[in-house]
Amino acid sequence: MKRPAAAFFFVFLTCPWLLPDAAAATIDGADYRRFLSWWAGDYDNLAQVAAQDAAGLPEHERNQATRLFIRRIDLPAFGQDVFYAEWQDARAPEKVTRQRIYAFRHDATAGTITLALHIWPADAAFAARTAGAHRDPAKLAGVSPADMAGLQGCDVVFDRVDDGAFVGAMVKGACAFDAPDGTPIYSWSQMRLTAGRFSYLDGWFNHDGTPFVRFTREWYAFDRTAPLP
């Protein structure tokens, strides 16, 4: 049975904040196993950055050249299907730019997948201690959800669309917090996953829906460079 999808089909340039509607299909157990198998691996967006350079996109509008490492990890405190993701500056690999834990669960009744997004706290010592956990998972030993930033409402709900991709988004307005200047805002992330590419677009919004911060003009498009068995 088909049902309306909230935000789907990846569009690079035409509308950076919205995805056109597409038909979504119920996700069964086999779909969920395939979805999980597509995450772990090494990625980069160097092809995207090269294309932006060739197109003459101004430097400040280009996506940052980044390498992304995603590994399945054993951290029962977060759930059964848990992954660690680490982003590094492609031009300075010693610079870790983002760390996340993705914990997935499958709702067989609703036919959806939920990503519980665990965001690193603003703790430089914690970030330094856990950096490189894609190479050494022991760096995450003992880490629990209590160590994370503790934001609520930041889950990403995925559906499967007609081309076989998995697409998801946060509920608009749910991932709310105060910006550094005290402005009440919310984060809204959209994602798309295929066997060879992980893409996403993040942004911060005022509660009237207007952008507060647009981090990039285009989606980040990470191509898989080294899949794991």
The pLDDT value given to residue 84: 98
The pLDDT value given to residue 13: 34
Q: Which fold has domain 2-227?
A: Lipocalin (2.40.128)
The pLDDT value given to residue 24: 73
How many helices and strands in the chain, by DSSP H and E?
A: 3, 14
Which three-class secondary structure state does DSSP give residue 222?
Answer: strand
The pLDDT value given to residue 217: 83
- Tally Cβ neighbours within 10 Å of residue 127: 14
Low-confidence stretches of the chain (pLDDT < 50) are 1-21
Q: Do 67 and 42 contact (CB within 8 A), yes or no?
A: yes
The b/e string for 131-156 (b: 16+ C-beta within 10 A; e otherwise) is bbbbeeeeebeebeeebbeeeeebbb
Q: Where are the domains of the chain?
A: 2-227
- Tally Cβ neighbours within 10 Å of residue 116: 17
For residues 179 and 206, give the distance between their C-alpha atoms in angstroms, rounded to a whole number: 10
**Do β-strands 23-25 and 41-44 pair in parallel, antiparallel, or remain unpaired?**
unpaired
The pLDDT value given to residue 196: 96
For residues 198 and 166, give the distance between their C-alpha atoms in angstroms, rounded to a whole number: 10
Element containing residue 20 per DSSP (H, E):
none
What tokens appear for 160 in the block? Answer: 């499967």
The residue assigned the tokens 């550094």 is 180
